[in-house]
Amino acid sequence: MPQTLKLAVSQSRTLSTLSATLEALKATTQHAAREGVDLILFPEAYLGGYPRTCDFGIAVGARSAGGRDQFLHYFRDSVDLGDTPRGAGDEWVDRELEVGKGKEYRGDGTREFLERVARETGVFVVTGLVEKSGGSLYCSVVYVCPRLGCIGKRRKVMPTGAERMIWAQGSPSTLRAVTTTIKGVNLTMASAICWENYMPLLRYSLYSQNVNLYLAPTADARDTWLPLMRTVGCESRAFVLSANQCVKRKHLPDWITGKKNTTAVSDTGSTLASAAPRSHGRRRSTLTVTEENHELVLPTADGQAEDGDNSLTKKLSQIAIADGSDSSSSDEEYVCTGGSCIVGPLGEVLKEPLWNVEDGLHIVDADFDDCERGRLDLDVAGSYSRNDVFHLEVDGLDLDPPQ
């Protein structure tokens, strides 16, 4: 039986409301379904938003009232999946948690919306989101199966830099891989969020579970990200999907841009606010679809990215305009340039990073037999591990491959 699936990464940006972003996710997933996609990955914090450039009024030993108001806005924009602060795990997945009297379900309905999109399109959806539980926020990823609904969720265990001001640490138990079967292909997938991929022991905890699909939603648009993804592909002998947002300053929420910060530096290394836009030279690209339906990522003649004139781009633009997030501001500076990519099990680049394209979709045909072919000479958690000498234990996490 063929072991080939169509995998996709969506370079999508958060819109100004959760409802508009959910509608954009739905439109993108419907488009992916028409292209025959079996599984799609959306970026880190896609639902709820990545509050790029915002300092929340925090300095060492000081907090501002304005910063507290910003956190209130951000908290309200985040997603309630009905989970508990400790993370209920299988109880949450299996809907065993108590539902309040008079309520149809726990949470704000986002889980149910995602499950409906997956079910109606037949596409397995994995998306990053900002999850609120109790009084805290978590950077999370949810796995949504067309047949079974949500089969797993994990929370980022180590927020990066200034993220630690606003996101709580997730439990290492959520690093547990999930399994599913799509078109006869057995998948074991797990997610490392953004700079968790720079944590060698965390990566190894995923490799130990024998993953063949490694998901890396991110907010990192550095040039160093692609080499990291190639390393992950080579180490894991798995297909690697990485999705990031491409965002201009005018797309940031009003509660961020209303208070200018002229000295902020993003967690991905670019100086923000009054700094001149960075020139990426060769990194500027446009997505082109040929008559043979092949996708090409090509540099543009003037160094500026172009949006393809296709139905998906038009649909998403309509959603953004209807939601009021299409600003007339002249501030066209990119605060995040994207870089979504796909890497194969030998570390080969299957889809080059997509730069300066606000709504892009990368699709590949992935032959999962290539994962086993790659194990001929490298299985870092098995034959190549010297597990008689080196040992890794993670509190609360079973490292044995899931069934």
Q: What residues are labeled active site?
A: 44, 156, 194
Pairing of strands 334-343, 246-248: antiparallel
Closest to 74 in 3D by CA, of 40, 105, 45? 45
Contact indicator for 92, 82 with CB cutoff of 8 Å = yes
Reduce the DSSP state of residue 40 to 3 states and report it: strand
Closest to 215 in 3D by CA, of 154, 145, 163, 287? 154
Angle between helices 110-121 and 18-34 (to 10 degrees): 10
Contact indicator for 219, 49 with CB cutoff of 8 Å = no
Structure tokens at 80: 């309630």
Contact indicator for 305, 281 with CB cutoff of 8 Å = no
Distances (CA, A) of 1 to 4, 82, 139, 185: 9, 39, 38, 9
Closest to 127 in 3D by CA, of 140, 109, 113, 108? 140
d(Cα 336, Cα 243) in Å, to the nearest integer?
Answer: 12
The DSSP code for 28 is: H
CB atoms within 10 A of CB 11: 26
Reduce the DSSP state of residue 236 to 3 states and report it: helix
Reduce the DSSP state of residue 150 to 3 states and report it: strand
C-alpha atoms less than 13 angstroms from C-alpha of 95 in its C-beta half-sphere: 11
Q: Which residues pair with 214 in a beta bridge?
A: 190, 240
Q: Can you tell me which residue has the tokens 């990031």?
A: 244
Distances (CA, A) of 215 to 34, 128, 345: 22, 10, 13
d(Cα 196, Cα 188) in Å, to the nearest integer?
Answer: 19
- Burial environment of residue 301 by CB neighbours within 10 A (0 to 12, 13 to 18, 19 or more): exposed
Structure tokens at 316: 């998403």
d(Cα 60, Cα 124) in Å, to the nearest integer?
Answer: 43
